[in-house]
């Protein structure tokens, strides 16, 4: 099973929904997770030169970067293969009570950014996504001072960014609902699956042999361990449809980006102040995330007791207060 977040479904998510997906951005009026207060919003595309070609990275900025009084927050979404939309609650940090400019973006190959279905498998690797992140930081001229919030694969990517690139401008790091090794994620999912009815286990074991049964079974699991907010938030559904919608581009989802991946033996190289987050009902159980806490010097850990894999939806107010307090030091 592919890593983490792409498999997230809600019990209300059925195959008929997938037919409604379009490979275009939702309008601002369609977004349900926007900050309640009015903040400036800007979106567009950033040129991303890479190996002799120029691609486009879609971004959305909440708040005023030019006249900022607080350090910007860059948000890394999960997958690999999703979109920034399900991370829109983090834009709450841009409202008047917190004042952090927030930058979200769709990683290359996903959603509104350039799709590259003809690239070979080895094109898709961790360093590609780190190069794109560095390009975004330079574009907004914030490379000398910024925070990162990374969710699921985004948290894994953020930890690789720190270890591989040694970014001097990164001030604080939030790793949310992320495994320290792909093997641990698979082990956790298998353990949690055991408590579900036999029809759920059978359908997941058969996979796409019976696609409708497979989705319904995953919906049962993830309504408990993926997002306990029901019905599923529209922005989360939109992100999931980037992988599971009819005609979805599965290039990134199917690439072996994280085959055998682990960062456990390199975590002591992270010297950035780090907050680790997971939920009580998360597939990223305590033992799945523990090495981040134990091996990153001075790391702080918060477990959200009413949440699963998406506490930024499930305990939204507390989540923002805790993250903002950590960023403020």
Catalytic residues: 152, 282, 309
DSSP H helical ranges for 91-181: 126-139, 153-165
Rounded distance between C-alpha atoms, residue 294 and residue 180, angstroms:
11
Helix (H) or strand (E) holding 3: none
**Cα 183 to Cα 323: distance, rounded to the nearest angstrom:** 28
- Peptide bond just before 80 cis, omega within 30 deg: yes
CB-based contact 46:74 (threshold 8 Å): no
Local structure of 67: helix, strand or coil: coil
Question: Where does the chain have alpha helices with state H?
Answer: 15-18, 126-139, 153-165, 182-193, 198-206, 211-225, 234-244, 251-254, 286-295, 311-314, 316-328
């Amino acid at each position: 099973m592919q890593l983490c977040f792409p498999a997230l479904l809600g019990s209300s998510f059925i195959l008929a929904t997938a037919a409604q997906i379009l490979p275009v951005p939702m309008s601002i009026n369609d977004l349900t997770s926007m900050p309640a207060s009015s903040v400036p919003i800007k979106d567009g595309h950033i040129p991303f030169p890479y190996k002799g070609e120029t691609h486009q990275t879609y971004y959305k900025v909440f708040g005023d970067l030019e006249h900022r009084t607080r350090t910007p927050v860059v948000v890394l979404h999960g997958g690999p293969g999703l979109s920034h939309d399900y991370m829109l609650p983090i834009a709450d940090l841009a409202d008047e009570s917190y004042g952090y400019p927030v930058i979200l973006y769709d990683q290359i190959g996903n959603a509104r950014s350039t799709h590259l279905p003809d690239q070979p498998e080895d094109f898709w690797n961790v360093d590609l996504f780190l190069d794109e992140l560095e390009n975004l930081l330079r574009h907004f001229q914030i490379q000398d001072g910024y925070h990162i919030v990374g969710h699921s694969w985004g948290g894994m990517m953020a930890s690789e960014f720190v270890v591989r690139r040694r970014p001097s401008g990164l001030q604080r790091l939030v790793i949310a609902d992320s495994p320290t090794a792909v093997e641990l994620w698979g082990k956790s999912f298998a353990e949690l699956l055991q408590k579900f009815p036999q029809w759920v286990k059978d359908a997941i074991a058969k996979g796409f042999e019976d696609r409708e049964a497979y989705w319904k079974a995953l919906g049962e699991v993830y309504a408990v361990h993926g997002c306990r907010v029901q019905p599923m938030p529209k922005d989360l559904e939109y992100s999931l449809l980037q992988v599971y919608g009819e005609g979805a581009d599965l290039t990134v989802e199917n690439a072996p980006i994280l085959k055998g991946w682990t960062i456990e033996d390199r975590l002591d190289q992270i010297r950035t102040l780090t907050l680790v987050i997971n939920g009580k009902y998360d597939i990223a159980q305590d033992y799945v995330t523990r090495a981040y806490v134990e091996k990153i010097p001075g790391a702080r850990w918060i477990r959200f007791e009413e949440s699963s894999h998406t506490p930024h939806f499930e305990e939204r107010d507390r989540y923002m207060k805790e993250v903002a307090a950590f960023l403020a030091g």
